[in-house]
Amino acid sequence: MSKNFRDMLETFDNEFPERDYTIEITCPEFTSVCPKTGQPDFGVLLFEYVPDKVCVELKSLKMYLQQYRSEGIFYEKVTNEILDDFVAVSQPRRATLTARFTPRGGISSVITVEHIAQS
């Protein structure tokens, strides 16, 4: 499933590969669907990564994230899956995804997943 979404992510060449530098991307308008209740979930995604050969193109990231709008998927799964797609496509030196979901039943959740490239 997620594999189809992954194809939407585009990249462009990193012009400064000789230097480790950090790119943070905040996407405050993420929404998916709770597979248990059918109710929409909402969250803010923060990507922080050190690019290697390529950078992730922002507009394609936006379009990619919109694919989850009708997708029934749990918090833990969606966070891990999105980071996996991000890493598979851009092969960064390091990448962290922090997903802050809005409260449900008075309880709010933050999931933080990290990837470090094997050297």
Question: 26: left (phi > 0), else alpha (psi -120 to 50), else beta?
Answer: beta
Stretch that binds a second copy, among 3-11, 65-73, 86-94 (CB under 8 A): 65-73
Binding-site size for a second copy (CB under 8 A) equals: 44
Would you give the binding string for a second copy spanning residues 33-62, x where CB under 8 A is met? ------xx-x--------x---x--xx-xx
**Which of 35, 53, 76, 117 is the binder for a second copy (CB under 8 A)?**
76
In whole angstroms, give the CA distance from residue 89 to residue 54.
Answer: 9
In whole angstroms, give the CA distance from residue 40 to residue 21.
Answer: 35
Residues 31, 42 contacting (CB under 8 angstroms): yes
34 catalytic, yes or no?
A: yes
41 catalytic, yes or no?
A: yes
Structure tokens at 12: 């462009």
In whole angstroms, give the CA distance from residue 86 to residue 82.
Answer: 6
Stretch that binds a second copy, among 1-9, 74-82, 85-93 (CB under 8 A): 74-82
Structure tokens at 82: 């999105």
Question: Interface residues with a second copy (CB under 8 A)?
Answer: 14-16, 19-29, 31, 39-40, 42, 51, 55, 58-59, 61-62, 66, 69-70, 76-77, 79-80, 102-114
